[in-house]
Amino acid sequence: MIGVTVLGATGSIGVSTLDVLARHSDQFHVVALTAHRDVDKLTRLCLRHGPRYAVMVDEQAARELSRRLKDQGSTTEVLAGAVALAQVAALTECDYVMAAIVGAAGLAPTLAAARAGKRILLANKEALVMSGRLFMEEVQRHGAELLPIDSEHNAVFQCMPAGFANGLGTVGVEQILLTASGGPFRERDPASLRDVTPEQAIAHPNWEMGRKISVDSATMMNKGLEVIEACWLFHTDADHVQVVVHPQSVIHSLVRYVDGSVLAQLGNPDMRTPIAHALAWPRRLAAGVAPLDLFSVARLDFEEPDLRRFPCLALSYQAARAGGTSPTVLNAANEVAVQAFLERRLAFTGIARVIAAVLDASDTQAAESLEHVLDEDARARGLASQLIESGVVGS
């Protein structure tokens, strides 16, 4: 039996992972589930899946979870705090780690999984965006396996030949094409984006996601972070990664070869497909996903992204090319700005303005250590908060 720890169990990726695991309980068992503070949801998941450990980052929530589970006769041991996240990611009885904690909070436990030599199912972009070189070095040093869960990167992985880690040129790959739905504002007049509400921004046309990642999709920052992530996963640079707007979200990404061939991975927009792929690789598992009906799809459209409508995508390419700590700064400023937007303290268009201002005020440095990365992250967050509170970049 393969032991699995799910970091971020109450989010959409975590829930989808548990759905796939439950379909194959003869092959997998749940070792640990973690959440930030959603006691109700984690209680239900623990009672259903029976993990040995449950972690709540919020200590008060952990106490309440422990009380509820004991009342139900559960033997799950409840741990509290951020340190416990790293502990359950490195447990001996854990073979695979689903890294699905959104944001910078997922970096430390994902690094712990790498240092413990686990198979990491990477749904947390920030591990590579914030500390790509450091993270990849830890994966290699400790013999960990890294399999991408983002539908786009998973699709690229499926379309890549063996040996791509030696350089895309050595295996005949010319370019990676990352598809993007374009989000809810693909056809909206850019001049009207200032008036976008949080409710409108999180209403993704194709995918059901959390609030933060839904806003990132609406700004296309999500795709920008994926460009940076793709550079590390596939050992290339930003000039070899092209974003293609594909509204139907049927082609999840493509790989172009030097002989003119383009390989694509298609499927219904359901995250259980890449999750099942990574759990079973190099085999295949049933995921509970309906097969793609090409006759129903009927057509596939492609557009070049409009950088005037999506300035966050342009800022992401800027940070990717600068390298070093620039992606860390980009991600930190974005997280602060998105939270301010969701709290109605910042206009939708202010998100890109905050990020641009923080990048302009930051010197690109080599990311020498995790401590250095976290220091830069904290500095960028502080600057972004100051800019928002001052109202200098409010729209």
Output the CA angle 104-107-112, nearest 5 degrees.
160
Beta strands at 173-180 and 77-80: parallel, antiparallel or unpaired? unpaired
Q: Please tell me the predicted confidence (pLDDT) of residue 189.
A: 86
Low-confidence ranges of the chain (pLDDT < 70): 204-209, 394-395
User: Model-level pTM?
Assistant: 0.91
Q: What are phi and psi of 270, to 5 degrees?
A: -145, 120
| Amino acid identity at 188 | R
Please provide the CATH number assigned to the domain covering 2-148.
3.40.50.720
Which 3-state string (H, E, C) describes 279-341?
HHCCCCCCCCCCCCCHHHHCCCCCECCCCCCCHHHHHHHHHHHHCCCHHHHHHHHHHHHHHHH
Task: Return the CATH class of domain 323-390.
Answer: mainly alpha
Q: Sheet of 241-245: strands edge to edge?
A: 241-245, 173-180, 251-257, 262-266
Q: Write down the domain spans for the chain.
A: 2-148, 155-268, 323-390
How does 335-345 read in b/e, with b if 16+ C-beta sit within 10 Å? bbbbbbbbeee
Report d(CA 312, CA 211) in Å as an integer.
17
148 with 233: CB under 8 angstroms? yes
